[in-house]
Amino acid sequence: MDNNSFDGLGLSEESLRSIQMKGFEEPTEIQRRMIPLILKNDMDLIGQAQTGTGKTAAFALPLIDSIQPHAGHLQAVILVPTRELAVQVAEEFNSLKGHKNIHIAPIYGGQSYETQFRILKKGVDIIVGTPGRVIDHLNRKSLLFNKVSYVILDEADEMLNMGFIDDIEEILGKTNPVRRTLLFSATMPERIIKLAKKYMREHKIIKAERAGLTADLTDQIYFEVRESDKFDSLCRIIDTTIEFYGLIFCRTKNDVDTITRKLLNRGYDAEGLHGDISQVQREKVLSKFKMRKINVLVATDVAARGLDIYDLTHVINYSLPQDPESYLHRIGRTGRAGKEGKAITFVNSEEHRKLTFIKNITKTEIRKERIPHVKDVIRFKKEKILTELNDIIESGLSDTHISLAEELLRDRIPEEVVASLISYAFKDTLNEDSYAHIHDLFESTEKKNENSGGKKKKKKNKEGKGYSRMFIALGKKDSLSPKQLLKLLNKKADVEPDKVEGIQIMDSYSFFNVPTGACDLILSRLNSKDKKERPLVEIAKPSKKFN
């Protein structure tokens, strides 16, 4: 049997058809290892894998094949930490069940009891619920768990972090003792191990070897900034990203409200999420974000748990996470489905020890970078203006606009007319003086290291004489990513990844900073010796235009 394809996992023909309809080509590691065990084995199982690695399908597909239609009683209970995840998991089950006549229902707080009573009375085979609402139904006798065959704890570590441990134990205590228990978790803290020992029979732990896949696909960097400079730093990141689509994590609901308000005042399309927002408003915000009517979502950890949003370009830790597990969960929301995302963390000068702890525990590389300079922001905005104007020209102009243009150009220098229109439309956007000054703690730290780093350090800095900005004629259209650029420079010019900073990947070209002493080697190694060919790499100049 070939476990590298869905055909070899033991699934039914109906499930295989559903998989084909969904467009899944081959199983992920957690699916490949868990599905056969759930189908052919009666033991309890623990699956450890990151968010975004296909955990839901890993238990949904075998469970659908195992559930008996028309059983007349509840057969499976899936506990999840948030109402959003309850809805998403239920939708995933319904999309995978094909024509099999089984009924799945999400049960969560915020939805009326009358609606849920009506659904449960009709008969449900599988419920996907949050612990609090499930207990309410158990107490009201509208749910009976005495014949349940399966209990699945999804995102178990998140449920424990959110304080659901007592609720989970109460639910497990009221469930058929001969049930089968499946537990899925991104991390395996001591509390999970204790829960397993207490409520699971003989069990097997399946740890996906690539459980850190999501982190592997995420370019992780941090900026050292003052607290007062965080907001302007955030704006510079957004302003130097093509089609920014990101999640901004804050520590408190007041932070969420403040940052969201500031972003809106500066003209960004942003919304906020925290625990005080009503369920109706929450659903509206999430719908707008998923449809990309807004491209910036500011949220607390609690409000963002359970969100399943794909193709994020950025996750930004505006405030440092409380622990390594939270860090992994945050950054796990980008870098999915084979696409590389970027995770950015802001730290102040007193948080290095905590950041180092997170790096050591998560075993991830988080490199230090400089906040984009104002010149980078303006250069990026110029490119955006040129692109948007070209799009307008190609889409066609009205006779009214043409007539006005002819009148403006009569007896005037064309360059001055265009310049005045740009000044009128974009005002201070292209003026360096209109941007707030950000204290560059990266540079101040480097100078401090230079002054206290000993003879070897001084010699290195003397030889390097600072950093130079370089241009490379490759970009997103060439499938270039920050990691690929680092590999290219390392392989071709022996430049270590930690020496490369300030990477900006545009559509057809990119920029990066390297020690000045490395520039000649990069130019000689990456450029063709044929002088008729245009250089692939050049030293960037502020006044230089790249076509």
The DSSP annotation for 245-301 comes to: -EEEEESSHHHHHHHHHHHHHTT--EEEE-TTS-HHHHHHHHHHHHTTS--EEEEEH
Length of the chain counted residue by residue: 547
Regarding whether 193 and 280 lie in a shared domain, the answer is: no
Regarding whether 120 and 10 lie in a shared domain, the answer is: yes
Q: What is the pLDDT of residue 137?
A: 95
Regarding whether 410 and 282 lie in a shared domain, the answer is: no
CA–CA dist 85, 128 (Å, integer):
9
**Mean pLDDT score of the chain, rounded to an integer?**
83
Regarding whether 83 and 122 lie in a shared domain, the answer is: yes
Regarding whether 44 and 174 lie in a shared domain, the answer is: yes
Contacts of 409 (CB under 8 A, 6+ apart): 417
Q: Indicate whether 310 belongs to any domain.
A: yes
Regarding whether 365 and 221 lie in a shared domain, the answer is: yes
> Mean pLDDT lowest for which of 29-43, 203-217, 352-366, 416-430?
203-217
Regarding whether 167 and 58 lie in a shared domain, the answer is: yes
Which helix (H) or strand (E) element contains residue 489?
helix 482-493
pTM for this prediction: 0.51
Please, how many CA atoms are within 13 Å of residue 229, restricted to the half-sphere of its CB?
Answer: 21
Q: Indicate whether 238 belongs to any domain.
A: yes
Q: Indicate whether 544 belongs to any domain.
A: no
Q: Indicate whether 69 belongs to any domain.
A: yes
Q: Is the pLDDT of residue 304 over 50?
A: yes
Regarding whether 383 and 469 lie in a shared domain, the answer is: no
Most confident of 11-20, 451-460, 461-470: 11-20
Provide the pLDDT confidence category of residue 442 given band limits of 50, 70 and 90: low
40-50 pLDDT tens trace: 888 999 998 86
Q: What is the pLDDT of residue 47?
A: 92
Q: Is the pLDDT of residue 251 over 60?
A: yes
Q: What is the pLDDT of residue 244?
A: 92
Last residue of one domain, picked from the residues 351, 371, 391: 371
Regarding whether 397 and 332 lie in a shared domain, the answer is: no
> Mean pLDDT lowest for which of 191-195, 366-370, 457-461?
457-461
Regarding whether 197 and 52 lie in a shared domain, the answer is: yes
Domain count, the chain: 4
Q: What is the pLDDT of residue 210?
A: 52
Contacts of 448 (CB under 8 A, 6+ apart): none
Q: Is the pLDDT of residue 170 over 90?
A: yes
Partners of 368 in beta bridges? 222
Look at residue 58 and give its three-state secondary structure.
helix
Q: What is the pLDDT of residue 60?
A: 95
Structure-model confidence comparison of residues 74 and 54, the more confident one? 74
Last residue of one domain, picked from the residues 349, 371, 393: 371
Provide the pLDDT confidence category of residue 257 given band limits of 50, 70 and 90: very high
Q: Indicate whether 325 belongs to any domain.
A: yes
Cα dihedral sign for 159, 165, 166, 168?
Answer: positive
Structure-model confidence comparison of residues 209 and 356, the more confident one? 356
Q: Indicate whether 458 belongs to any domain.
A: no
Q: What is the pLDDT of residue 261?
A: 93
CATH of the domain at 97: 3.40.50.300
Q: Indicate whether 492 belongs to any domain.
A: yes
Provide the pLDDT confidence category of residue 516 given band limits of 50, 70 and 90: confident
Q: Mean pLDDT throughout 504-531?
A: 85
Provide the pLDDT confidence category of residue 339 given band limits of 50, 70 and 90: low
Q: What is the pLDDT of residue 305?
A: 62
361-419 pLDDT tens trace: 677 788 898 888 888 888 888 888 888 888 888 888 888 888 888 888 888 898 888 88
* Region at 35 (left for phi over 0; alpha for psi -120 to 50; beta for the rest): alpha
Q: Domain limits at 495?
A: 464-539
Q: What is the pLDDT of residue 195?
A: 87
Q: Is the pLDDT of residue 527 over 50?
A: yes
Structure tokens at 192: 């999970």
Regarding whether 152 and 25 lie in a shared domain, the answer is: yes
Q: Residue 500: which of 382, 509, 524, 510 has the closest Cα? A: 510
> Mean pLDDT lowest for which of 114-123, 243-252, 316-325?
316-325
> With b meaning 16 or more CB within 10 Å and e meaning fewer, what string describes 175-203?
bbeebbbbbbbbbbeeebeebbeebbeeb
138-164 pLDDT tens trace: 999 999 999 999 999 998 888 887 788
Q: Is the pLDDT of residue 115 over 90?
A: yes
CB-neighbour burial class of residue 238 (10 A; exposed 0-12, middle 13-18, buried 19+): buried
Q: Is the pLDDT of residue 37 over 80?
A: yes
CATH of the domain at 494: 3.30.70.2280
Q: What is the pLDDT of residue 466?
A: 75
> Mean pLDDT lowest for which of 87-91, 145-149, 342-346, 470-474?
87-91
Q: What is the pLDDT of residue 450?
A: 47
Q: Mean pLDDT throughout 501-528?
A: 86
Q: Is the pLDDT of residue 544 over 50?
A: no
Regarding whether 307 and 251 lie in a shared domain, the answer is: yes
CB-neighbour burial class of residue 356 (10 A; exposed 0-12, middle 13-18, buried 19+): exposed
Last residue of one domain, picked from the residues 323, 346, 371: 371
Q: Mean pLDDT throughout 212-241?
A: 83
Q: Indicate whether 267 belongs to any domain.
A: yes
